[in-house]
Chain A
Amino acid sequence: MSLPFSTSERPSMNVTAFEAGSGVGPPQEVSLRQNPALPSLCQTGLQWFVSQTSGVTAALVATADGFEIASVLHQSLSAEKMAAMTSSILALGEVVLAEAELSDCQNVVIESSNGMVVMLAIGDPRKELLLSVIADRNAMLGQVLWAARRCCEQIRQSVAQVVAH
């Protein structure tokens, strides 16, 4: 399905960001994080995704700079830390791709003997949102990826709604 935005509307990464140390940045668009409607919309998407996907035990939506927006986590997990890690790992994915003369990191999969963590770029127009998924040994990677991408799609639609209003 087509989104109400074209990806070309996304502001390009500002190379002069290296001068950020001067304390003078370009004028900022209001970040999605400031939008009060977003967390509950993401939460709904996450709950559906976690409950419907075999083996998925936790999921979280974070901003590209590592803040939690919404999460379905077991109590022992720190949403703050998980959000920051998701941002770091996907950023590393992007620079590894650049080194390999590739681009547009979509997800990073970390598999282990007793489960997996999948981190995905949600693909919202301004690339502000990330999804992190934790699954146990009952999960199948293909299924998790498929369901996670559907969850991303749903969140993209929610974002389009809240941005339009």
Chain B
Amino acid sequence: MTIGREYKIIVTGTMGAGKTTAISAISDVVVVSTEAANSDQASSAKASTTVALDYGEIKLDGGDRIRLYGTPGQQRFSFMWGILAKGALGLILLIDNSSATPLEDLSRFLDAFEDLAQKGAVVVGITHRDVTTGPLMAQYHEVLSVRSLNLPIFSIDGRERAHILLMVDALLSSIEVVD
């Protein structure tokens, strides 16, 4: 048995998709978060927004740990994406179905994290599907197939621990298959 392996996983995606919420839903330690008052109510009506990173951990059986790093969602913080993605094994990509352009958002993030996407080390979660109709799941799948990407897509509630853990499981399985 190997002891104390650590996996680094990134949680990214659009502003208001629920990245901070998702990390706090599954972290076994107190989440480190960097929130500032959100002055951009036009983009999202939330009170605060992540401006540097979120950090959480999941303790696995056998002493292994998953370190979770959440990124800010807005393009102006994209310099943080590269910093946080360094050395990451995989990516959980959350897309807010209720945004004006969810399909384009998915494309944009797949471009930004192309290396991980090409490796198959990405799982996609579509959030807020209960809030607005938005695109069909088939349309999200279409965005992937156009790029010849075969990645799991889930329709999830970012507040549900079970949903996020399912995505983590799926990601770890994908990574093992890839390895």
Contacts and interface: CB of A to CB of B under 8 A. Distances in A.
Contacts of B20: 17-18, 20-21
A84 B45 contact: no
A28 B41 contact: yes
A95 B32 CA distance: 7
Nearest to B23: A18
Interface string B42-75: 0011111101110000000000000000001010
Interface string A117-136: 00000000011100000000
Contact of A64 (B37, B53, B72, B98): B37
Interface residues of B, number: 40
B39 A21 contact: no
A81 B76 CA distance: 6
B129 to A, nearest CB: 12
B39 A88 contact: no
A126 B37 contact: yes
A21 B22 contact: yes
Nearest to A28: B41
B131 A21 contact: no
A52 interface: no
B47 A91 contact: no
B18 A85 contact: no
A64 B37 CA distance: 7
Contacts of B127: 21
A124 to B, nearest CB: 12
Interface string A14-34: 101111111111101001111
Interface of A is mostly: helix
A65 to B, nearest CB: 4
Q: How large, as a class, is the contact surface on chain A? A: 35 or more
Contacts of A66: 36, 51, 74, 76-77
B174 interface: no
B37 A26 contact: no
Contacts of A80: 76
A126 B47 CA distance: 14
A87 interface: yes
A85 B19 CA distance: 20
A83 interface: yes
Contacts of A67: 39-40, 76
A63 B36 CA distance: 9
A23 B39 contact: no
B37 A25 contact: no
A62 B32 CA distance: 23
A10 to B, nearest CB: 10
Contacts of B53: 92
B76 A31 contact: no
B90 interface: no
A13 interface: yes
6 contacts: A17-B46, A63-B39, A65-B38, A81-B76, A88-B80, A99-B32
- 8 closest residue pairs by CB, A with B: A21-B18, A21-B21, A20-B46, A91-B34, A31-B39, A64-B36, A88-B52, A17-B48
